Structure 1
Amino acid sequence: MITTIKNSILTAEIKHFGAELISLKTNLNKEYIWEGNPNFWGKHSPILFPIVGTLKNNSFHHNGMEYHLSRHGFARDMEFELINTTENSATFSIQSSDETLKVYPFEFELQLIYTLDKNNLSIAYKVINKGKYTMPFAIGAHPAFALPNQFENYSIAFEKEEPLEYYLLEDDLISNNTKQLEVHNKQIPLTYELFENDALIFKALQSNSLTILENEIPILRVHFKDFPSLGIWTKMNAPFLCIEPWFGYSDTNENSGNLLEKESVQILKADETFHSKFSIEIL
């Protein structure tokens, strides 16, 4: 099933499977979300929960038991329930079940709230610990933006002047090796060579937004003030760019396997609720 929300400027479509944003168009029918061509990457904007990235050996231990979680977790592969909708907003929910407890032994509810306001789409996350014990988790976004013209016509601009040191992945885990992006006037031209070693992973940024420009003209901006970390990714020769605000990232080889000790993990006490949101502004 697909739910559509709209206002006088934008129309968004959200697939109930994964509560995944699959389209964001202007009233002039210009599409900003990647089409999901499986020849490159068959997703559009998956939700990453209860982990972001990859666990060492795809596993963790808790209370003497070992559990296995695949890359980016299971929420993106679950059917969400639509629990509230208006013309310009929609709220989706999943809850822990016998199946999720086999791989992630914590009781939770996850809500995604999509809201259109003028030329902005906000995507809010709400994580509720419904169990009796402390709950470790990570959560992140993975929207892919369509870049239909020549990739080198595009650039990205960070909100602030800052040293842009990113971490390299090795076998899907974060290594201790870093590189620094060369920035000119806060802008970085896009080339596929930037992504030869997979995603660019920033553990911490001062910038609260990132802008995509086409031929020096800004076309959209992602605002992620609430999120401490960021991934930027594409596939070789693919006509899209993912801008991924995160709470959390992949393990390193030094990880103990205890989620409660994981670098960048979020901790919710019993009955506590976590809130965050990011937004996509069409320029």
Structure 2
Amino acid sequence: MTYSIKSNCLTATFNTKGAELTSLKNNNNKEYIWEANPQYWGKHSPVLFPIVGVLKNNSYTYNGKTYTLSRHGFARDKVFSVKEQHDDTITFVLAADEATKENYPFNFELQIKYTLAATTLCIDYIVSNKGATTMPFSIGGHPAFALPNNFKDYSLQFEKQEDLVSTQLQNELLSGIKTPISLKDSILPLNYNLFKNDALIFKQLQSETITILEENKPFLKVAFSDFPHLGIWTKPNYPFLCIEPWQGYADSVNSNGKFIEKEGSIVLAEKATIQKGFSIEILN
């Protein structure tokens, strides 16, 4: 099922499958979210939970037992319930059940709250540990932004001048190879060659916002102060760009497979709740 919320400037639409943002339009019907054309990539903005990226051998161990989890976890494929809806906000919820415990043996509740305010969509993830043991997890966003012009017409403006270092992927796992990326006056011109080895993965940034520029003019801004890690992804000739705020990332090629020791994860105390959010601001 689909649901929509509105502000005086924007309309956002969601699917209960994955609680996924499927459309973000202004009052002139301009679309900012990728259309999910399967010829390229058949998703709009999936939610990544309880892992981000890929596990080594698609599996992990916990309390002496081996479990399997596919890339980016299962939340994006689950049907969420609507907990609450108003004109400008909607909250989806997914709770652990017997099916999720086959792959992730924890009593979690995941709420995803979307709120529109003027030209900004705020996205909040509220994760609760309902169980009596600590609960490791990762979570992140994967919004794909439609870029209707030539890809080289776009660039990324980081909030601060960065000494960017991307960790390269090797068969979807983090390798030990680091790639420096140069900025000029905090701006990274986009070209498909940047993504020849898959996503750019930043374990550390000073910036808490990134602005997409279209022909050097601000197009949209992603603010992610709650998230320490970031992925940026597209593929050659794909007409979109993903800016992905993450807590956590893929296993390394040297991972020991122990879930409780997974690098970048949160270990949530029993009966505890944590909230992390990011926002998308439309600038043009």
**Superposed structure 1 runs of 4+ greater than 3 Å apart:** none
Q: Which residue of 1 aligns with 2:266?
A: 266
Determine helix, strand or coil for the equivalent of 1:103: coil
Partners of 1:265 and 1:219 lie apart in 2 by 32
CA RMSD of aligned residues (A): 0.5
> 1:35, CA displacement in angstroms?
0.4
Q: Which residue of 2 aligns with 1:218?
A: 218
Partners of 2:207 and 2:77 lie apart in 1 by 31
Determine helix, strand or coil for the equivalent of 2:193: helix
Matched AA of 1:190: L
Where does the alignment leave 5 or more consecutive residues of structure 1 unmatched? none
> Is 1:48 the counterpart of 2:48 in the alignment?
yes
Determine helix, strand or coil for the equivalent of 1:128: strand
Q: Which residue of 1 aligns with 2:228?
A: 228
Matched AA of 1:109: E
Q: Which residue of 1 aligns with 2:2?
A: 2
> 5 Å matches for 1:122-137?
122-137=122-137
> 1:273, CA displacement in angstroms?
0.3
Partners of 2:275 and 2:196 lie apart in 1 by 34
> 1:181, CA displacement in angstroms?
1.0
What are the superposed Cα offsets for residues 104-129 of structure 1, whole Å, 9 maximum, x if unpaired?
A: 11110000000001110000000000
Partners of 1:185 and 1:63 lie apart in 2 by 49
Partners of 1:137 and 1:181 lie apart in 2 by 29
Determine helix, strand or coil for the equivalent of 2:57: helix
Determine helix, strand or coil for the equivalent of 1:198: coil
What are the superposed Cα offsets for residues 183-233 of structure 1, whole Å, 9 maximum, x if unpaired?
A: 111111111110000000000111000000110001100000010000000
> Is 1:170 the counterpart of 2:177 in the alignment?
no
Partners of 2:154 and 2:84 lie apart in 1 by 37
What are the superposed Cα offsets for residues 154-206 of structure 1, whole Å, 9 maximum, x if unpaired?
A: 00110001201110000000011011111111111111110000000000111
Q: Which residue of 1 aligns with 2:95?
A: 95
> Is 1:117 the counterpart of 2:117 in the alignment?
yes
Identity of aligned residues (%): 54
Partners of 2:161 and 2:187 lie apart in 1 by 9
Determine helix, strand or coil for the equivalent of 1:194: helix
TM-score, with structure 1 as normaliser: 0.99
Q: Which residue of 2 aligns with 1:201?
A: 201
> 1:7, CA displacement in angstroms?
1.1
Determine helix, strand or coil for the equivalent of 1:152: helix
> 1:236, CA displacement in angstroms?
1.5
> 1:277, CA displacement in angstroms?
0.2
What are the superposed Cα offsets for residues 65-92 of structure 1, whole Å, 9 maximum, x if unpaired?
A: 1000000000000000001000000000
> 1:46, CA displacement in angstroms?
0.1
Where does the alignment leave 5 or more consecutive residues of structure 2 unmatched? none
Matched AA of 2:244: E
Partners of 1:7 and 1:246 lie apart in 2 by 27
Matched AA of 2:260: L
Partners of 1:89 and 1:55 lie apart in 2 by 34
Q: Which residue of 2 aligns with 1:64?
A: 64
Partners of 2:188 and 2:162 lie apart in 1 by 13
Determine helix, strand or coil for the equivalent of 1:213: strand
Determine helix, strand or coil for the equivalent of 1:76: helix
| Count of residues paired in the alignment | 283
> 1:253, CA displacement in angstroms?
1.7
Partners of 2:257 and 2:165 lie apart in 1 by 26
Partners of 1:112 and 1:235 lie apart in 2 by 28
Q: Which residue of 1 aligns with 2:79?
A: 79
Partners of 2:274 and 2:13 lie apart in 1 by 25
Matched AA of 1:181: I
Partners of 1:98 and 1:79 lie apart in 2 by 15
